Each structure stands twice: as C-alpha cells, then as structure tokens.
Amino acid sequence: MLAQHPLTSLKGVGEKQFEKLQKLGLFVVQDLLFHLPLRYQDKTRLVELSSAQVGGEILIEGTIFSQTLSQGRRRSLLVTLQTESGHFVTLRFFHFYPRQAQQFAHGKTVRVFGELRSGHNGLEMVHPSYEFIHPDQYVPLDSTLTPIYPTTEGLGQASMLKLIKQAIALLKQSPLEELLPQKLLVQLQLPLLNQALLTLHQPQPSDDLRQIKQFQHPAQQRLIIEELINQQAAMQQMRATEKQRNAPAFPPSQTCNALLTSLPFELTFAQQRVLKEIQNDLSQPHPMQRLVQGDVGSGKTIIAALAAIQAADVGYQVAIMAPTEILAEQHLEAFNEWLEPLGIPVAWLNGRMKVAEKREMMAQIETGAARVIIGTHALFQEAVTFHKLGFVIIDEQHRFGVHQRLSLHEKNRDKDIHTHQLIMTATPIPRTLAMTAYGDLDLSVIDELPPGRKPIETAVLSNEKRFEIMEHLYAKCKQGIQAYWVCPLIEESELLHAQAAEVTASLFSEHWPDLRVGLIHGRLKGEQKALVMNAFKQHQLDLLVATTVIEVGVNVPNASLMIIENAERLGLAQLHQLRGRVGRGRKQSHCVLLYQAPLSQTGKARLNIMRETTDGFKIAEEDLKIRGPGEVLGTKQTGGLEFRIADLKRDAEWIPVAKTWASTMIIEFPEQIDALNERWIGQKIDYQHA
C-alpha cells in the first residue's frame, strides 16, 4: 500500500533528500501523490506571436536574427528572434556567461518558453527557458502540460518531477482505495480518485487549463470534497466523543433569578434564547462545548455571569480568561458588581501582580475560597492550582492558541471529570468558516442589540481634513461628549506614514489646553493603563488618544465619537471592533475613518463596507472575501486548520455538502471514515482535541 510505502524506497531519495521532503510534509509515496502542482506550463503547442496574448506564458520557435550586449543601468544580453511568420521578439538575459552569449549565433533555430511582455522596443521575454533545435532534427512537443510543484530549498523542479513520475508509476500498479460512496460521486458527477490524481499530475492538452487554474476542474473538486468530508467527519466524531465524557451537572440556579431581578435592564430575546441554551448544556452530565457569537455591545458579559452563577452555586469554580488586561479588568469590575452582592467571591489574577497579592489570590483559588476567577494568560501558569474547577469561560477565543485552551482544560484535579467550556467572541465569524473552524462546538448567536441602541454613523474622509476633524472633536467635547482618537503606532516612523499616538495627544494639548486628554498604548504598565482608563470612565478625561490596545473590552457609554486614523492600514474585523467602542449609550454615535491617499482597491473596498453597514456578520463575510480564512481566524491561533487542497474562501459552497455527507458516512461507512482520516491527517497532531 502506498500509504505505507516510504519515500526512501524511491530512486534518488537518500537521507538528506528525505529531510528536505519532510519539510514539505512528505513522508510516504501517497503524500507525493497528494502534493499537487501550484500551476502548469503549456509546452504542448507552438504559438504564433501574432495570436499571442501579452502576459501569458507561451512556447515559440524562431531563428536568431541578432544579439547585442546592452550597457544600460543593468548589463544585459539581448537576443532578437524572428518567427516563421516574420514577427520579432527580444529575449532578455540579465545573468549570463560569455560562452552562453556565444551560443546565440545568427541563423540558429531555438525553441523558447516564457512570459510574453511588452518592452520598450516591442515584445520581449525575460530569462525564458530555451533549447536549440537542429534544422534536420525533429524534436517532439510535450504530450502533457508541465506541472510546477511547491518545493523547498535544495529541492528543484527537476528532482520533484522525477519523484512524482515514480509515484505515478507505483499508483498505476497499486491504485489507491476509493473511499467515497459511489452514489456521492454519481450525484456530484465527479471522477474516481485515481483518475483525478493522474489528471492533475499529467493533464492532457485537451484538459481545460483555465478551468484548472480556477480550481473548477472535476478532478480538483473530487479531491476538495474528499478532504472537506474528512475534516467535517473528524469534527463530528470529536463532538460525539466529547458528549460521552463525564462532566459535573449544574442544576438551574435560583441565584440567577436574583441577579436578573436586580438588573436595571431586561435581557433581549436573543440573550434569553442563548442563556437557555447554555443553562440546558450546563445541567447535562457531559461537557458543554459552546461558542457564543455576539456583535460588539450585544451583551455577552451578563450571559457569562449568569452561566458562572449556575456552577458557583453548587460549589464549583469558574475560570474566566480574557486576552488583555484591559478586558480582564473590565470583566472584574462587572462581575464584582453583579456577583459580590449575591455572596459569590470573585478573585483576580494577572502577570503584573505583586508577590504577596499573587500568593494570596493563588491561595484563595487553591482552597476554593474564590469561586469565580478572572484573569489573562496568567491562569495558565503551572503554579496555579484550582480546588474544584468545573467551568471555563474564554473570551475572544481566536486570540488564544488551542494548546492554551487545552492547558486550562487540564487544570481540573479529577482527570476523569471534564470542565464545561463556553467560548465567546465579538468577532462575527461567517457561517461556512464557523462550520469548519469551530465544527466541534455548538453555536449560539446573540443577533440582537439592546433596545435604544442607535446604529453608528460612519464617515470616510481623507487625512487632509485631519485638523478640521480635530476642531470638530474639540467642539463636541466642550458640549459634554467623550471621544476616542485611535492611531496605529505609538511613535512616529518615517517608513509608515501614520500619526503616532504621542504626537497626536501633544497636538491636542498644545492647540486646546482646556481639553482633558489621556494617552494609552501597549507600552504603558498595567497600573498606568488602569489609571487612564478609570479616569476616562469617570469622565475626568474628555478625549482618549490610544493605539489599537482599546480594540476589545472598553465600555464607556458616554463616549460617542470615534476617530480612527490611517484606517486603511487596519483589517475589517479590527475596524469593526474599534468602532464598537462607541454606540454603547443612548446618544447618536459617530465614527470617522481617516485615510492616507492614495488608496488601494482593497483599501477602498474595505472602507466602503464600513461606511455601508454596521452589521458584524456582513462585515465578516466581506472580510473573508478580502483576506481569506487564515487571516480572519489568525492562522497561528487556529492550531492547525490547514488544508492540502481545499480552501475555505474558494470552496465555501462545498462545506454544507461535505457536512451532510460526513454525517451519512459516519453512520453508513464508518471504516471508510477511519481510512480517510489516515489519508488526509495521518501523523498530524489532532489539534481539535483542545
């Protein structure tokens, strides 16, 4: 079987070559077969210059008309080629040897492959590949398109092609097992696996190259659907495994009702629905794995507090983890206000605590005196020991690696009892992406803002209007509102034309000495940040000049004006999060996005979306189109959501199909699912067990 056939058995693969192949994730012959070309070159036909398109790669043949050495800014060899129809093209070489130049003698016939460009003196090719043709010799054209493979240092295309040819020969002798049901292939009109692999490694001239380039060829779609089915099945199986594990069951709590009655507001219908889903999960004897999505300002924190009460009420501890100290402190303030009157002690842990304070907090956690513990990544420290951890709440999950999430999971003393997990995010995730990246989690959505909230009005203006905006902001602050001014950098940089927060704060103080200005950025110590934030909350400051450190968790209802400078430098999700710092009170809020001209097409598209909508889910869908899934989720933090062939952005339409068929195959063809897992994941770490 090719899945067990080591690459070292192939001709030309010694120890050093094998090390290079391992860097590409290639270990056995089957891996080579799934190592597909990045693109293809068409050397199967000669193209006449009169019908060739500039920008395309073509194969031409002609006679050398002349050759010269150009002594311009870069010394180069220029070879003029005349085709049979009398058209001319210049071959330009910047790197060449004297002997190489001598080979291009007048009258010689040469076959050339490269990208056709428009140069100063007509058509040209830069550093094309070429071979000399003897007039009396017939040199056949390639019979298939030439694949170009992903490689690594020290491993060229020629070596890779030789290895792939050996793998294909073995495939023809020992075809791979067809793991997808026949009825699926018939329904979707897709080819068999082995035929699909042969087509993609050796496409024929009759194959539609444009279709292949766009990943629309049936052979590609055959592999894409198999990989997505495998991924969806892995998620579904993991979810089923999780449901079989033991977890403490927390019955409904009367204390929750006490908090609800004391609140000065009523929960929205969406909040009530999500709370019921969570409370039901917590009452089950298996671990809750739930992701709560809610746009900025939708009221996720109160839901988390009500859920925490359900666990704390029966003697279990709840760990609440936030990605930044600002957000953790915000949670601490809210939870203290809500839980302390109910007799539920709240503890706090962060990396900058003094030794004595930290020792005291850790003692409370270890003895169980602290029921609800709020912190940053400091909760991961080995020294932190929980007395009876039953519930973990993680805010802004995408900012934590899954291994961090797992290490907190393992803090439970009783390894046979698993903790419930609630993951919250204010970063809306498109449905197709959520189905894939978080397919092992149940999903709840708070899709309703509290009553009285008005949509934030957004304007997009050139940086030339900057001083006018500053004047307008001063006038508004004198009328009693508070404002944010966000700068991407702390200090000025000659490389990036972005205004620094420090310079902007000084400019406001210089022009309007009576304006109370605060400055906050990532280099400030925790105590300093806390002092500035508290002063802003208490309205002791009119304006907070900040870097993007305020992106998450800052809640000041009186602040109703947000200026984001150099907005073209920020992603849609980040712009949406920053804008969400205003619009939290009953006043009409405004956001101004300042940009530095000229704007790229992507920059224009991004800012237009922000101006057109405040719907986080619409913004997330557009963000996915512009940036792709890796960046939307934060590739490093997804813990390995990587595909060999499938692409979540390009192949989104296949995901619901893959999900349905994965469910069918788990029930009807469980053996094939195991084999699929072996084929597509193999030795990879199963990151999803976090």
In a domain, 108, yes or no: yes
Do the beta carbons of residue 36 and residue 164 sit within 8 Å? no
Same domain, yes or no: 379 and 396:
yes
Query: How confident is the model over 505-524, as pLDDT tens digits?
Result: 999 999 999 999 999 887 77
Same domain, yes or no: 617 and 595:
yes
Same domain, yes or no: 121 and 60:
yes
In a domain, 37, yes or no: no
Strands (E), 177-326: 289-294, 317-321
CATH number of the domain within which 110 lies: 2.40.50.140
In a domain, 566, yes or no: yes
Same domain, yes or no: 554 and 591:
yes
In a domain, 260, yes or no: yes
Same domain, yes or no: 191 and 327:
no
CATH number of the domain within which 268 lies: 3.40.50.300
pLDDT at 403 over 70: no
| Mean pLDDT computed over 441-468 | 88
Phi, psi of 558, rounded to the nearest 5 degrees? -75, -15
In a domain, 614, yes or no: yes
Query: How confident is the model over 113-157, as pLDDT tens digits?
Result: 999 998 878 899 999 999 999 877 888 888 888 899 999 888 989
Domain boundary among 391, 423, 446: 446
pLDDT at 320 over 90: yes
| Mean pLDDT computed over 669-688 | 73
DSSP-based helix, strand, coil % in the chain, nearest 5:
45, 20, 40
Domain boundary among 446, 473, 498: 446
In a domain, 156, yes or no: no
Q: What is the pLDDT of residue 475?
A: 95
Same domain, yes or no: 279 and 216:
no
Report the C-alpha gap between 209 and 215 in whole angstroms: 10
In a domain, 158, yes or no: no
Please state, for a pLDDT cut of 70, what percent of the chain lies above it: 92
Q: Cα dihedral angle (347, 351, 353, 354), rounded to 10 degrees?
A: 140
pLDDT at 88 over 70: yes
Do the beta carbons of residue 322 and residue 375 sit within 8 Å? yes
Domain boundary among 383, 415, 446: 446
Q: Cα dihedral angle (5, 6, 8, 13), rounded to 10 degrees?
A: 80
Same domain, yes or no: 674 and 591:
no
Report the C-alpha gap between 384 and 358 in whole angstroms: 10
Task: For residue 192, give its domain range.
Answer: 177-246+653-690
Band (pLDDT 50/70/90 cuts) for residue 688 is very low
Nearest 5 degrees, angle CA 183-CA 185-CA 187?
Answer: 65
Do the beta carbons of residue 233 and residue 676 sit within 8 Å? yes
Q: What is the DSSP string of 547-579?
A: -GGGTTT---TTEEEEEETTGGGS-HHHHHHHH
Same domain, yes or no: 219 and 236:
yes
Q: What is the pLDDT of residue 409?
A: 65
Which residues in 139-156 are b (16+ Cβ under 10 Å) and which e? eeeeebbbbebebeeebe
Q: Which helix (H) or strand (E) holds 64?
A: strand 57-70
Report the C-alpha gap between 269 and 274 in whole angstroms: 9
Q: What is the pLDDT of residue 647?
A: 84
- Per mean pLDDT, which of 394-398, 413-417, 529-533, 624-628 is the most reliable? 529-533
Quote the radius of gyration of the chain (alpha carbons, Å): 31
Q: Which amino acid is at 452?
A: G
Phi, psi of 170, rounded to the nearest 5 degrees? -70, -35
Same domain, yes or no: 540 and 603:
yes
| Mean pLDDT computed over 181-208 | 92
Q: What is the pLDDT of residue 269?
A: 95
Same domain, yes or no: 439 and 525:
no
Same domain, yes or no: 567 and 627:
yes
Nearest 5 degrees, angle CA 370-CA 374-CA 378?
Answer: 105
Report the C-alpha gap between 676 and 670 in whole angstroms: 10
Do the beta carbons of residue 306 and residue 336 sit within 8 Å? no
Comparing 625 with 661, the larger pLDDT belongs to 661
In a domain, 25, yes or no: no
Tokens of 441: 């989690």
pLDDT at 467 over 70: yes
| Mean pLDDT computed over 6-14 | 90
pLDDT at 690 over 60: no
| Mean pLDDT computed over 528-535 | 86
Comparing 197 with 122, the larger pLDDT belongs to 197
| Mean pLDDT computed over 227-232 | 92
pLDDT at 495 over 70: no
Number of domains in the chain: 4
Q: Which residue has the tokens 């030795």?
A: 683
pLDDT at 431 over 80: no
Q: What is the pLDDT of residue 551?
A: 62
Q: What is the pLDDT of residue 632?
A: 52
Q: What is the pLDDT of residue 399?
A: 53
Helix (H, G, I), strand (E, B) or coil at 184: helix
Q: What is the DSSP string of 21-63?
A: HHHTT--BHHHHHT---SEEE--SS---GGGPPTTSEEEEEEE
Do the beta carbons of residue 603 and residue 568 sit within 8 Å? yes
Same domain, yes or no: 599 and 672:
no
Q: What is the pLDDT of residue 547?
A: 84
| Mean pLDDT computed over 324-349 | 89
Q: What is the pLDDT of residue 636?
A: 36
Q: What is the mean pLDDT of the chain?
A: 86
Is pTM, for the whole model, over 0.75? no
